[in-house]
Structure 1
Amino acid sequence: MKKLKIRTKMMLWYTLLTGILLAVFLPVLYHTIAATLLDSEKNNIGATMSIAESSIEFDNGHLSIGDELKAPANTFIIIWDKSGQVIYANTQKNLFYTIQFTEGNPYRIYYNNEDWLVLDKTVQENNHVVKIRICSSIDKMEAVLNRTLFLMLVVIPLFLLITIIGGLFIAKRALRPISKITDLASEIGHGDLSKRITGIESMDEVGELANTFNEMLASLENSFEKEKRFSSDSSHELRTPVAIIMANAEAILAATPGADPTTAANTILAESHRINTVICQLLMLTRGIEGKYQIQLEEVSLPVLTDAVLEQLQEEAASKVITLVNETADVTVQADQSLLTQMMLNLVGNAIKYGKPDGHVWVKAEREGDGCLITVSDDGIGIMPEELPLIFDRFYRADKSRDRSGSGLGLSIVKWIVDMHGGKIELESTPDQGSIFLIRM
């Protein structure tokens, strides 16, 4: 059963359920029809008995039968007096005279290859005793029941056959979109993520599945493209410092005339630090994505944290003649202090790196509802509108000609830190006018 296709299972269950319903319903229907017809026959002979009883007349001690007594078709009436003398009969069939007289409810007998329904009754009036017997053929009723039974026996297999064929057709038609999804999944298995499910217009569960599958494919394609770009960018980021390290190491080993071992060693050390920074930041992001990084929440004073961050970056800002301004209100927030410090260092450092000489970097924080709003803004070179959606991607740089001293992971880490705290980050930027990062936590 487990190896059968869904449409086969649907057809089998549908047929089994139909068979069970027919097996229960049809016998009940047959017995109901039989009981109804038999009750009708009993009512008929009861009515005939009433007519026969009312037609008996006693006049001056003499018993007579009125002229109104007439028996329906296939119904016989026999009337005896107390001596057993037949005083009325519309049949000569001996059996109707010889069977035991049994008063009460109608009973059935089988005579001359026919089924009969018999009703006996004794009538007494003025010391006169009269016995009445009504016999009615129920062969027509039996014929109706036999035809009904025959039709049921013919209809059940035919209906089950129609159920099987119809079930297969309906299941195949209903599951046709599933077959499309299966074929598409097979094509995707060969690496083509650009495929989409088309031609399904229904709004039922299958249509919802197709839409969900298409959304999943779009998300997968986007993720794969990001991963491909990440692999390319990370390879490029790591290849450049490794090439520099190798070149300087080879120069030292070759003792090339004019080579300065101290300069080469310093270069190797600097590039090694850069590789180490990239690796550490990648490790942090990877642990965060895998859910292995546990944040330690505590009460953090934003003015104190901002002062520490700006003091740490003051020398770098002074080298570019950029003024750092702390405008944070007296606001505290529940956060991981080390991660929040890293977030502020990345944002302010990024603003300094892409700022203009004699420019400014402002850091603000204020209470907003139950949370707080942190903004880091600058009056630097800004970002083009088409590049804003990609700015938080790993290794993405809006201007490939800019300073490449960083790892290209700073804003990705900022986004991850904000997400870890359940916050939201937005970016507003205008080319040549500056950028504003808004963090709500």
Structure 2
Amino acid sequence: MSKIGSKIGKRLGSRLSLPLLFSFAVFLIFLVTVIVTGLLFYLADVFGLIDEKLVMEGTVVPLLILISCIIIGTAISAISSRKMVRSIRTFIDATDRLAGGDFSMRLQLKSPPEFRILSENFNRMAEELGGIEILRTDFVNNFSHEFKTPIVSIKGFAEMLKYDDLSRQERDEYLDIVIEESARLASLASNVLELSKIETQTILTDKKSFNAGEQLRQCVLLLASKFEKRQLVLNLDFHDYMLEGNKELLNQVWLNLLDNAIKFTPEGGEIVMSMKKRSGRIVFVISDNGPGISPEALPRVFDKFYQQDTSHSTAGNGLGLTIVSKIVHLHGGTITCDSLLSQGTAFTVTLPAPQTQP
């Protein structure tokens, strides 16, 4: 019977909302106070502890009953409120620990339903804050590494350039490295500023309608020298589909994806670019037959500063794909990456087509 009673109590507690539970608790406190007070006065009357003269006067007994009710009611309220106060103290302690940086803190309050919802929201908030803290730490570490490496390189080669016994060839080589590392620093600063601007942008501005196929052709022409230098084969399937969005931002998307494809495609390799309409959306695919991306690295390709090449010997700073992803999502689109080792990589960008477009 006790198990059945406890189950009924749990179900009743889970169904009662906080206002109803509070009202029910107040009613029980009043009821228990009246019963206990009445029982005490009945026992006092039975054992002759109450003088008949006091009863006849008619003012002392009500006063005694009032004082007894206050004392007994206060005592019962203090005892019954311990559970609720304990839950509130648990929540206060949890928020203190969370404010102190302990993002592993979790609440397990089960009843009333409002406290359960409070626990779930608190746990979700703690989890999100923990993830943000990890991202922040990774960002600082990666940014420090990316920023420090070219500075150290520039400093080292600048010091070597002070020697008078350097040959003209060595001096030119060191100067080229200094120029290259300076350009890398400038690119890093530019990308960080661009990413910061895009991340704070919630509304797409400077929207216009333009020919997406023509934009892709222009991007290919801009990178034509890189294609020719690596003797890459281009397989293009463009159409004159109209697209609505920020042309300058989308230009960065195609240039970043194309530059990545060129960078990782072996000399004499092939890059395929295609676009087609599907269910009111335009699907762009840029693929290469390069070395591919490992299954472990694939989920992180859009993370800030992430590079599969842990030696950081490959040109770039790991921000290009992050910027691409932010721009695509800002346009209400999606971007995915599919890759197989030794077979190549394909990036698929899906953007909404204008409503008036046939």
TM-score range for the pair, normalised by the shorter chain length:
0.7 to 0.9
2:338 matches 1:428: yes
Q: 1:185 to 1:198 in 2, by over 3 A?
A: closer
In the TM superposition, what are the counterparts of 1:232-381 in structure 2 within 5 Å?
232-258=141-167, 260-291=170-201, 295-381=205-291
Q: 1:366 to 1:176 in 2, by over 3 A?
A: farther
Which amino acid in 1 is paired with 2:281?
G
In structure 2, distance between residues paired with 1:189 and 1:397: 33
For residue 318 of structure 1, report the CA deviation from its aligned partner. Answer: 3.1
In structure 1, distance between residues paired with 2:166 and 2:133: 48
Higher helix residue share? 2
**Residue matched to 1:440:** 350
Q: 1:158 to 1:313 in 2, by over 3 A?
A: farther
Select the structure with the greater relative contact order (CA < 8 A; seq sep ≥ 6).
2
CA RMSD of aligned residues (A): 3.3
**Residue matched to 1:406:** 316
Q: Deviations over 1:358-412 (max 9, x none)?
A: 3322222222333322222222222122222211111101232474211211101
- Could you tell me whether the CA contact under 8 Å between 1:383 and 1:430 is conserved in 2? yes
In structure 2, distance between residues paired with 1:321 and 1:177: 69
**Residue matched to 2:137:** 228
Which amino acid in 2 is paired with 1:415?
S
Q: Deviations over 1:72-121 (max 9, x none)?
A: xxxxxxxxxxxxxxxxxxxxxxxxxxxxxxxxxxxxxxxxxxxxxxxxxx
In structure 1, distance between residues paired with 2:260 and 2:85: 54
Q: 1:152 to 1:300 in 2, by over 3 A?
A: farther
**Residue matched to 2:115:** 206
- Looking at CA atoms only, which structure, 1 or 2, has the larger radius of gyration? 1
Q: How many pairs were matched up?
A: 304
In structure 2, distance between residues paired with 1:149 and 1:323: 107
Which amino acid in 1 is paired with 2:333?
G
Which amino acid in 1 is paired with 2:299?
P
Bigger Cα displacement from structure 2, 217-226 vs 394-403: 394-403
- Could you tell me whether the CA contact under 8 Å between 1:425 and 1:439 is conserved in 2? yes
% same residue: 25
**Residue matched to 2:8:** none
For residue 350 of structure 1, report the CA deviation from its aligned partner. Answer: 1.1
Q: 1:319 to 1:169 in 2, by over 3 A?
A: farther
For residue 185 of structure 1, report the CA deviation from its aligned partner. Answer: 2.8
Q: 1:175 to 1:330 in 2, by over 3 A?
A: farther
In structure 2, distance between residues paired with 1:342 and 1:422: 16
